[in-house]
Amino acid sequence: MNVVPDTSVVIDGRVSAAIEGDESGGASDGSLEGATVCVPEAVVAELERQANDGLDSGWDGLGELKRLVELADEGRIDLEYVGERPDATERGRATEGEIDAMIRDLAEELEATFLTSDVVQAEVAEAKGLDVDYISPETRRVGTLAIEEFFDEETMSVHLKTDALPMAKRGAIGEMHYEPIAEEPLSEATIDEYAREVVDGAREASGGFIELSEPGMKIVQFRDYRIAIARPPFSDGIEITAVRPIAQTDIDDYDHADELKERLLESQRGVLISGSPGAGKSTFAQSVARYLNDNDYAVKTMEKPRDLQVGPEITQYTALGGQMEKTADALLMVRPDYTIYDEVRKTSDFEVFADMRLAGVGMIGVVHATRPIDALQRLIGRVELGMIPQVVDTVIFVEAGEVAKVYDVKTEVKVPAGLTEEDLARPVILVTEFETGTPEYEIYTFNRQVVTVPLLEEEETRETGVDRIAKGEIEREIRSIARGYVDVDLKSQNRAVVYVDENDISTVIGKGGGRITDVENRLGIDIDVRTHEENPHYGSNASAAGASDGGQAKPAGQTVTPEITSRHIIVPVDGHHGETVEVQAGGEYLFTATVSRGGEIQVSRGSAIADELERAIDRRVPVTVTGS
């Protein structure tokens, strides 16, 4: 009896099983013992390609070929390698079925039984009149994985790497400790064995699947575990990171539960659940998903990878064709009431979130943020400012497993806090503390820039957000008039003193005070114009160092006039040839450089240093050079 196996059945390890026999019946009952197994060279080439690409399937198939050699040495089969190795053109057309056709042709030529685990291959071979033995890929019962033994009730994640001590994150949410969990490092052979067991288990267990498979990286979902396996050259050694949720909560376990439940049920909302890594965001999101599902809402999830722990009644979707945009299109056909979008990080994620929300779907996004306001600020520039409250009306900040802050987000047309003139009224996004109703931030456009202004400042803060904006606008206005250095001292929200060079006094004030009056009217602030000599901080090195706190000193050192060319910013320096000097703007340190023999410093445009220097030049801030 001649048998020709294809690539699928070799990778599955079913050829040796059909020879040795097991309890599954069919071709795995030992019926192939004594047969002549003719392995096509095309199968060997395909397995070699997969192994070179770092795919476990290639290594599994090569392992099966070695097992067939052992069975041949034991006299249980005859083993032959047949056919020709496919050329580059044939390998390039493998996805079009070229290699599969070569293997079928060999089976026909040898009048052999064609052995496959690929249902399409089986159907095509039968249509061609071949004798086909189809072995369906079986799902065997998978017990406990070796890496599960590293977990206890308080272990959230286990981190294993070649030649390193096994580590784990253990403890209560918000009180995790990263600690060793063994006394000896693990060898590469042991880590490799663990990794293969994880992949095999995901393929064979009903509760497992491979979420991502790329050369050097696999992400596996196995029951409650999300397991990432990294291999060289992507990583510098084999590494396994297994994560498991350690707590399952109900929404009633959190502060503000009654108010949040009412808010979620009264209408479809746009919610961002934010917090630092490990703070308990996903755990809270899971409790919200279960609560909404229990209250007659159709709930779905969008995750990559899928690791939220929800019931089978909540379908978990991943990136369709690698793109969440396609997943969103599919979900709009499914018409969920709420969608949980786990890990909203990239611009495309925020755009998908916004599109679905504006389509009327309730959206709950999970976002990394170290402060509550940071979650909302991540929308700025990605979503049109005026649309933000329609996309997100609630921000929930989770810290140490607790709901630490809830913000209500809405738009109001008003004069921003700290400004007085009625003609400065504009649409303002109010970020209000949910429980007390106290506004904590305002977000609006000021001079074509989007600003986020905190309304509650710490007592020790010397300059509020509004102060910084007002000061910056005054500096911009006066520098557009004055030729020399400008310093602004904001006395109150309605009054400021501007210090300029004596030669600029008349220019800034204008005939009859008309020019400064125009600036005052535009900004809604009374401005007193004085010379630098009248500045109490004039000449103070301390004030120059603390320029951001108010009064600045006129910078010391050699004042220079940089020249901007197409490729460089050239800073001319008198003296100091070959010496190291400091370049400052407005008394603030920019960089250290060595002066060339020609008496200049060249800075390549496009670098961070050049950008800072160009901004200083544009703002007419004096650039100085001092000996280092």
Q: Which domain holds residue 201?
A: 146-243
Q: How far is CA 422 from the centre of its chain?
A: 42
Domain boundary among 454, 475, 510: 454
The answer on 414 and 384 residing in a single domain is yes
CA distances from 177 to 167, 168, 169, 241, 558 (A): 10, 8, 5, 16, 53
CATH number at residue 617: 2.60.40
460-497 burial, b if ≥16 CB within 10 A, otherwise e? eeeebbbbebbbbbbbebbbebbebbbbbbbeebeebb
The residue with tokens 């071709």 is: 27
The answer on 263 and 190 residing in a single domain is no
Residue 537 has pLDDT above 70, yes or no: no
The answer on 164 and 31 residing in a single domain is no
Beta bridge partners of 339: 300, 363
Q: Which of 279-293, 343-357, 382-396, 510-524 comes out lowest in average pLDDT?
A: 510-524
DSSP notation for 169-205: EESSTT--EEEE--SSPBPHHHHHHHHHHHHHHHHHS
The answer on 217 and 289 residing in a single domain is no
Give the SS3 label for residue 374.
helix
Res 464: pLDDT: 58
Give the SS3 label for residue 414.
strand
The answer on 617 and 537 residing in a single domain is no
Mean pLDDT of the chain: 83
Domain boundary among 114, 134, 154: 134
In a domain, residue 605? The reply is yes
Radius of gyration in angstroms for the set of CA atoms belonging to the chain, rounded to a whole number: 34
In a domain, residue 588? The reply is yes
In a domain, residue 364? The reply is yes
**How many contiguous H segments (helices) and E segments (strands) does the chain have?**
19, 32
Residue 107 has pLDDT above 60, yes or no: yes
Res 421: pLDDT: 64
Model-level pTM?
0.55
Residue 480 has pLDDT above 70, yes or no: yes
The answer on 445 and 360 residing in a single domain is yes
Instruction: Quickly state the pLDDT bin for 544 (edges 50, 70, 90).
Output: very low
Residue 556 has pLDDT above 70, yes or no: no
Q: Is the peptide bond before 233 cis (omega within 30 degrees of 0)?
A: yes
Residue 305: DSSP 8-state? S
Residue 429 has pLDDT above 90, yes or no: yes
Res 628: pLDDT: 55
Q: Are 57 and 11 in contact (CB under 8 A)?
A: yes
The answer on 449 and 372 residing in a single domain is yes
Q: Are 58 and 50 in contact (CB under 8 A)?
A: yes
CA distance 571 to 583: 9
Q: Tokens at residue 376, please?
A: 């909302």
Q: How far is CA 390 from the centre of its chain?
A: 24
Residue 320: DSSP 8-state? B
In a domain, residue 459? The reply is no
pLDDT tens-digit map of 513-532: 888 998 888 888 889 988 88
597 vs 22, residue with greater confidence:
597
Nearest to 377 by CA among 272, 455, 464: 272
Give the residue-averaged pLDDT of 383-410: 91
Residue 466 has pLDDT above 70, yes or no: no
Total tally of structural domains belonging to the chain: 5
| Most confident region among 9-13, 26-30, 77-81, 98-102 by mean pLDDT | 77-81
Residue 614 has pLDDT above 90, yes or no: no
pLDDT tens-digit map of 118-154: 888 889 989 989 999 888 765 555 678 889 999 988 8
pLDDT tens-digit map of 568-600: 889 888 877 777 778 888 777 777 777 887 888
Res 242: pLDDT: 92
CA distances from 19 to 77, 127, 506, 522 (A): 8, 27, 101, 89
Instruction: Quickly state the pLDDT bin for 246 (edges 50, 70, 90).
Output: low
The answer on 171 and 69 residing in a single domain is no
CA distance 372 to 279: 13
CATH number at residue 400: 3.40.50.300
In a domain, residue 460? The reply is no
The answer on 264 and 156 residing in a single domain is no
The answer on 348 and 274 residing in a single domain is yes
Residue 399: DSSP 8-state? E
The answer on 544 and 562 residing in a single domain is no
The answer on 171 and 229 residing in a single domain is yes
Cα pseudo-dihedral 278, 283, 284, 285, rounded to 10: 110
pLDDT tens-digit map of 283-318: 899 999 999 999 999 999 998 877 787 888 999 998
In a domain, residue 139? The reply is no
Domain boundary among 508, 523, 549: 549
Residue 496: DSSP 8-state? E
In a domain, residue 140? The reply is no
pLDDT tens-digit map of 227-237: 999 999 889 99
Terminal Cα distance for the chain, rounded: 88
Residue 456: DSSP 8-state? S
| Most confident region among 130-144, 160-174, 322-336, 518-532 by mean pLDDT | 322-336
Q: Are 619 and 479 in contact (CB under 8 A)?
A: yes
Res 548: pLDDT: 36
pLDDT tens-digit map of 397-420: 998 888 999 999 999 988 887 666
Q: Which residues contact 86 (CB under 8 A, 6 or more apart)?
A: 41, 42, 45, 94, 98, 99, 102
In a domain, residue 71? The reply is yes
Handedness of CA 138, 144, 150, 154 (dihedral sign): positive
